[in-house]
Amino acid sequence: MGHLGNLSTPALGLGCMGFSQAYGPADDEQSVATVRTALDLGVTLIDTAMSYGRGHNERLVGRAIAGRRAEVVLATKFGIVRGEDGVRLDGRPDHVRRYCDASLERLGVDTIDLYYLHRVDPAVPVAETVGAMAELVTAGKVRHLGLSEADPGQLEQAVAVHPIAAVQFEWSLSWREPERDVVPAARRLGVGLVPYSPLGRGLLTGVLPASYGDGDFRRGDPRFAGEHLTANLALVQELATIAAAYGISPAQLALAWLLAQGPDVVPIPGTRSPARLAENAAAARVQLNDADLAALSAQTWHGDRRSFAAYGTSRT
């Protein structure tokens, strides 16, 4: 089990973004089946957002959990707005309830278990946005609050207004920069940790496509090109060697390393494959020895990351 503030969760969740954007075309029926398989496997933390596919993702998740709401720890996000004119941030307090109500309708539920501000709007003090989010808790529309890609100061400001159950951010063996500041700040404030892209956007699985098609944002991510990719693939081979000694996959090894960082760490790997989902879920049963944990932690990965309006996208 995982613990995000006062919210109990499974050890791992399912990130749903790839059903609607970022990794090329997806099949809706397969996506619905994957979510249902997750519930069958006990992977009941389901993570979506209003921005994923401009509402498409929430509608898919709503279809998938229909009749099974009681099994689900349902997380969604607001604050990234996609429209015909592009992508923008909106954390205005007077818009928060409207965004929440629209998500509830698309999901077909009465309450969201974990409601995140997807990105802090630089035009709005985060305390003001969180104040409006807190009103949703009072109204019974939301149970717990979270922030995504917030910096330590923003976490401080948010917690001063209302308890924050979780902060979501990119964290994996191949992107460990949050350990410098976000992770210790969150733990000091009692905020749980939800790593997205815990498999390094596919890099840590050891299986990458020969090329990235239209709609796959990895085409522009420095970690997946040139000398950075060459160096990172050599590290993936090291993962494969360690994983083989445990009889597990490199992906399971990477997830087991994250899970070993503490019970307040609840990764949300995304996948479109029910078979891969079962593989990921099994990582929660893997116990790594101290020597291998240290060896993995000593690796040095290469290349900055690409992420929209996110905190900390460069290696230092």
Quote the CA–CA distance of 220 and 152 in Å, as a whole number.
27
Quote the CA–CA distance of 175 and 173 in Å, as a whole number.
6
Asked if 82 and 124 count as a contact pair (C-beta separation under 8 A), the reply is no
Exposed / middle / buried, residue 85 (Cβ in 10 Å: 0-12, 13-18, 19+): exposed
| Residue partners of 91: CB distance under 8 A and separation at least 6 | 79, 117, 119, 120, 121, 123, 124, 126, 128, 129
Question: Out of 52, 115, 116, 311, which one is annotated catalytic?
Answer: 52
Per DSSP, helices labelled H in the chain are 28-40, 56-65, 93-107, 126-138, 152-159, 182-189, 226-246, 250-259, 274-282, 290-297
Quote the CA–CA distance of 130 and 120 in Å, as a whole number.
10
Q: Which sign, positive or negative, has the C-alpha torsion 244, 248, 250, 256?
A: negative
Quote the CA–CA distance of 51 and 235 in Å, as a whole number.
33
Amino acid, single-letter form, for residue 151: D
Quote the CA–CA distance of 89 and 50 in Å, as a whole number.
12
Quote the CA–CA distance of 94 and 147 in Å, as a whole number.
18
Examine the residue annotation and report whether 52 is marked as an active-site residue of this protein: yes
Q: Which residues of 133-165 are buried (b: 16+ CB within 10 A; e: fewer)?
A: bbbbeeeebbbbbbbbbbbbebbebbbebbebb
Amino acid, single-letter form, for residue 57: N
Tokens of 233: 């693939």
Give catalytic residues, as residue numbers.
Answer: 52
